[in-house]
Amino acid sequence: MTDKNKDSEHGRLFAELRAEVSKLGEGETRERLLTRLDRLEKSLHTSSFGEHVKAFVEEAEEEAAAIGPFMARLSSLLP
């Protein structure tokens, strides 16, 4: 897979995850998750990506049913 295809695939993953988090409605939890997700996406291809995945997962623990289906795909991005 080329880097361009990988970036497109990663972009889709983050867009889908963002859409799922947005469905959580209004509130502090949703905003915290969206902030963590933004940080996570920006850290892709950096040495801190794993730390951001961990922080996102910990923040999303209460919303595990919504976020769970994306965890394997996020894990596949880890170096």
For every one of its 79 residues, what pLDDT tens digit does the chain have, with 9 covering 90 and above? Answer: 566 666 788 889 999 999 988 988 778 888 999 999 999 999 999 999 999 999 988 888 877 777 788 888 888 888 7
pLDDT of amino acid 36: 93
User: Is pTM, for the whole model, over 0.85?
Assistant: no
pLDDT of amino acid 51: 94
Look up tokens 């998750």; give the residue.
33
Residue 63 half-sphere exposure toward CB, CA atoms < 13 A: 24
pLDDT of amino acid 38: 95
Q: How many angstroms separate the CA atoms of 71 and 79, rounded?
A: 15
Q: How many angstroms separate the CA atoms of 32 and 23, rounded?
A: 14
